[in-house]
Amino acid sequence: MLHSRALEEYPKNLGLVRPDMLSADFDKSAVLQQADRSFHQNGHVQLLTFWGIGWKPLALESDRLAMAHLGLITATLQNTLRKGTRLTLLLGDNHACANEVPDEIIRSYADSINKLAAEFGFARCELSKLHPVACSDLDQLELTPEENALYAPEQVHYEKSARHLRADNAERRARKYFLVRYRERQAIAGKFPDAILASPDISQRAVLTPALPTFYIHTLPLPRLRKLKPWFLKNY
């Protein structure tokens, strides 16, 4: 292990003790073992997190606040591990496509976020390049029996989330969103096999995340904002 320290010598929450950082319990052992693999493979610990796209064309102060918060989480983890830790944003342009966000908004916001992330020293990976999806084909794709078995019990919750973005066509958009996210998991894990995922999703949606050691975070630090996502906020 890192610095030959035993697992029990690391703090329970890896130093992420502020309530605005973690949103659920996680497997400390799996995260630490992956950190060890990541460092020996890459010379640093690779951390990933998802960053979505809503209906605003440019990054705003809410996005900057969230970036600063992610920087604090990354720095805290680096201090605990005593190894360089680098964060890559997985930019969900595919997810926005599934939610029928216009392409001009997707591209404008993605460009704006890429510039903002560069200021914080975060790497970026647009998921459309990692797992290409033709937006025009999504309506024709069907869930497999396996996918439907996972989607159906939570369908009402996916549709509720879709309505937070827009009221119309929530059932269709929720199905496409699930399909895109479920099918991109292997591509993400294949590109970043030694990474740790800092997931902004609720732990109940682990089925949508790649098979990587994961801890669950709040993307925004303020108590009144913890259940919100910066890419959906126009102000705070």
The tens-digit pLDDT sequence of the chain (236 residues) is: 455 567 777 887 888 877 778 888 889 899 999 999 999 999 999 999 999 999 999 999 999 999 999 999 999 999 998 889 999 999 999 999 999 999 999 999 999 999 999 999 999 999 999 999 888 888 888 999 999 999 999 999 999 988 887 888 999 999 999 999 999 999 999 999 999 999 998 777 889 999 999 999 999 988 888 888 999 998 76
pLDDT at site 206: 86
In this prediction, residue 204 carries a pLDDT of 75
User: What are the CA-CA distances from residue 8 to residues 15, 30, 32, 166, 172 (Å)?
Assistant: 13, 13, 11, 46, 47
The predicted pLDDT at position 202 comes to 79
**Residue 93 in contact with residue 127, Cβ under 8 Å?**
yes
Dig out the tokens for 45 from the structure: 């610990």
Please give the pLDDT value at position 103.
Answer: 95
Is the four-CA dihedral 75, 7, 211, 214 of positive or negative sign? negative
User: What sign results for the dihedral spanned by CA atoms 182, 187, 188, 194?
Assistant: positive
What residue has token string 């916001």? 109
CA angle 218/223/225 to nearest 5° reads: 65
User: φ and ψ at 35, to 5 degrees?
Assistant: -60, -40
3-state secondary structure of 50: strand
Q: Which pTM was predicted?
A: 0.92
C-alpha distance from residue 16 to each of 12, 25, 84, 115 (Å)? 9, 11, 16, 27
Classify 229 in phi/psi space as left (phi over 0), alpha (psi -120 to 50) or beta.
beta
Task: Domains for the chain: give ranges and CATH numbers.
Answer: 45-230 (3.40.50)
d(CA 57, CA 105): 5
Distance CA 156, CA 159 (A): 5
Phi and psi for 199 in degrees, rounded to 5? -90, 130
Residue 216: per-residue pLDDT: 92
